[in-house]
Structures are given as C-alpha cells and as structure tokens.
Structure 1
Amino acid sequence: MRSSPLGLTVLSLLHMQPLHPYGIQRLIKQWGKDQVVNVSQRASLYRTIDRLLDAGLIAVRETSRDQQYPERTVYEVTDAGRTTTRVWLREMLVATRSEYPEFPAALSFTMMLLPQEVEADLAARATQVRAQLAELEASAEQSRQLALPRITVLEDEYRRAVLTAELEWLDAVTADLRSGAFTWDFDTLAALARAAS
C-alpha cells in the first residue's frame, strides 16, 4: 500500500488506542488534524480503513452492536502497521515531493486577467491568510495555556511559517501591482506564445 496523509493519520491514531471510524474522525477534528489532512468526506476515511485492513496494517479488534447505533467495528494497528507507520513518517519527513495545489496553478495563468483584477484577488487572499494566521495564533495561545508539548503542535508551527511567508509575498506583489511597477499586456504575451510555437 502506498503512503497517504490520511493513512498515516489513521495508523498513528490507532497507535494510541483501538478505535472505530467515528472515534478516528472525532479525534482528527478534536486534535485539529483536519487542518492538514483532508478528511472532509467520511467515505474517504472508510476507503482508507478498508485499504489498511486489506494490506494487513490494521485488524478488526471487535464488532459491537448497540440498539441505538449501527454496528460498530473497532480497529487496532498490527505489528506490520506499526512498522509501516514509522517508514511512512520518515519518508514523508525527508522526501520532497511535487505537489500540485490550485494556487500555483492559478498563478501560472494570471496573465489571463487584468493587473487590477489580480491585485484585487491577491489582496482578498491576503485577507484570508491574515485570518488563518490569527486562528493559528489563537490556537497556539490555547496550546501554551494547556502546556501542550511543542511536538503536538509542530504542524501548526510549520503552517504559521508558511502562511507568514505567503503573506509577505502577497503584500509585496499587490504593492507592485497597485503602484504599476508590475503589469502586463495579454496580447503581447499571446504573440510571444504564438511565436514560440
């Protein structure tokens, strides 16, 4: 089985204790891991659990039935799952992989818009980034008050650093667009593209 952020998350949480899928999803949200792992659709969690089960990385510990709830299957990590978790963790920490998020893809075609449109859109993004940074700072303050060890919030520290750098870049580009120091003409760029083909 290939590594995935959600697979790593499920394995890691099962290291703590055996859990059923709802418990896994609840812990992901409680611990704020939904900010770094896409678990927006319950179906993706169940598919990941099925793949981990098929690969022998987790096992069914028990199945229980309560009259008020549907049947619940509790999973636990296997020895192979423990080994795989460490391998995946170390690979993900070391290896730089090409990721293809939407924002850089959109940036690569901003020439399709007018400079003032790009300035407005990037300024709006900067507002959102500022809000995300404020949320992360509030979360960091809460972590400090709870005296949580730094290792438990390392991903938030990283996200804060990345968002701070992005905000600095956004502010610089929007300032250049606002002042007219950065501009372009789509027809000129289209002519360059035709000449190159």
Structure 2
Amino acid sequence: MTSSAPRSSPLALTVLALLHYKPLHPYGIQRLVKDWGKEQVVNVRQRASLYRTIERLNGDGLIAVRETERDQQYPERTVYEVTDAGRETARAWLEEMLSAPKQEFPEFPAALSNLLLLTPEEMTEVLERRLGALTENLAGLETAMAAEATQGLPRITRLETEYLRAVTAAELEWVRTVVEDLRAGGLVWSKEQLDALAAGPVHQ
C-alpha cells in the first residue's frame, strides 16, 4: 500500500522555502514571514496553524528535527531543517502553483452570486464600503512597493506585491463600474423577476 502524496498549501510551501535558507524554529519562521513581507500571501497570525503545518511536513518526511535549543530566557525550541524530499517536493509544488491556475472558492465571488438577497440600494451601499477598503488596500500596497524599491531589493523578491497591487487595482476598477451602473439605474432588478427566475421555465 503506497502512501498518498504530501498535500500542498501556500503555508507549507513557504515553510519549505524558508528552510532552504537555513534551519529555523517555528518562531523564527513566523518572524521571517513577517520581516520578508510574506504575510500578504500566507497567514501565520494563528500560530496553531503554523505548528500544524510543521507537524504535517515533519510527518511526511519533508522536514526533520535538526536540534533542540535550550536557553534560560526562552522555552525549549525545536529547530527544523528541510530534507532532500522536502526540496524536491517544494520545487514540484512551486512549478504546479505557478503553471496551473487552480479553481479556488474565495468569499467575494460567492457573495456576488447571492446578491439577489439585497435590494439595489443595499447593494450600492455595501459595494461602496468595499470601494473604500480596496482604495486603502491599494494605497498600502503602493506604499509597500515604494519602500521595497528604496531598499534596493531585486525585483524577484517583490513580485507577490506587484501581483497583489495589480489584482487589487483591477478589482477596484470593476467594483467602481458596478457601483456607477447601480447609481445610474443601469443595474436593476425586482422581486417579481427573481420569483419568476426561481420558478424556472414555463413549459407549454
């Protein structure tokens, strides 16, 4: 009986990638994710999630315990290193994530598919709030890009910020056009239309 292939995730890939540079304990991994600005693309705020990922990678043989650090000032810390299998797996995951668009199910499109629960006025209000949040996010990303550029970092280390900036700008523009259509009366619906739609086609 063959074991199943290790399951990929953005956090698991990031852990393996960071361990390529040097052995680290979980807190060191969490700190590097923040210091390198990777918290924009992986969530390490919940330390339990990071520990579960590390345990899974260790169980799959992709990382191994290098040593246990003992210091009077800190609790005992386990230092991990990437294995040869981990290096191969990280490369395979990276190539797959880069080359093959994945069918994901983010919240925003799911909410858009159920907008019929709202009136046009309510929809306008909530999308205007999203416009404000997107505007703030875009400003933050542009500030981050400017800061990264002044630090002299090579562009390869800034591509995720470039991508997030482009995606956020595109979403901002699209949401703005929808709000404008709502305000102009170009996007309207009625309860009667929705009831007829829910009833399905009328068969003669």
Q: Note whether the superposition's TM-score is higher than 0.5.
A: yes
Write the distance in 2 (CA, Å) between the matches of 1:130 and 1:14.
Answer: 35
Residues 53-64 of structure 1: pairs in structure 2 closer than 5 A: 53-64=58-69
Deviations 1:142-197 (A, max 9, x none): 11111111110101101111111101101100000001111111332122112359
**Aligned counterpart, 2:3:** none
Does residue 180 (structure 1) correspond to residue 185 (structure 2)? The answer is yes
**Aligned counterpart, 1:73:** 78
**Helix, strand or coil at the partner of 1:127:** helix
**Helix, strand or coil at the partner of 2:77:** strand
**Aligned counterpart, 2:172:** 167
Does residue 17 (structure 1) correspond to residue 22 (structure 2)? The answer is yes
Write the distance in 2 (CA, Å) between the matches of 1:161 and 1:127.
Answer: 17
**Aligned counterpart, 1:118:** 123
**Aligned counterpart, 1:152:** 157
**Aligned counterpart, 1:4:** 9
Write the distance in 1 (CA, Å) between the matches of 2:17 and 2:161.
Answer: 18
Write the distance in 1 (CA, Å) between the matches of 2:173 and 2:93.
Answer: 32
Deviations 1:68-119 (A, max 9, x none): 2111000011111111111000000011111111110000011110101111
Does residue 84 (structure 1) correspond to residue 104 (structure 2)? The answer is no
**Helix, strand or coil at the partner of 1:100:** coil
Write the distance in 2 (CA, Å) between the matches of 1:109 and 1:116.
Answer: 15
Number of residue-to-residue matches in the alignment: 197
Q: Percent identity?
A: 61
Extract structure 1 runs of 4+ deviating beyond 4 A.
none
Structure 2: which amino acid aligns with 1:13? L
Q: Which runs of 5+ in 1 are unaligned?
A: none
The answer to whether the 8 Å contact 1:112/1:186 transfers is: no
1:132 to 125, 133, 137: 137
Calculate the TM-score normalised by the size of structure 1: 0.97
Structure 2: which amino acid aligns with 1:124? R
CA RMSD in angstroms comes to 1.2
Write the distance in 1 (CA, Å) between the matches of 2:148 and 2:72.
Answer: 38
Write the distance in 2 (CA, Å) between the matches of 1:196 and 1:39.
Answer: 49
**Aligned counterpart, 1:94:** 99
2:113 to 78, 100, 108: 108
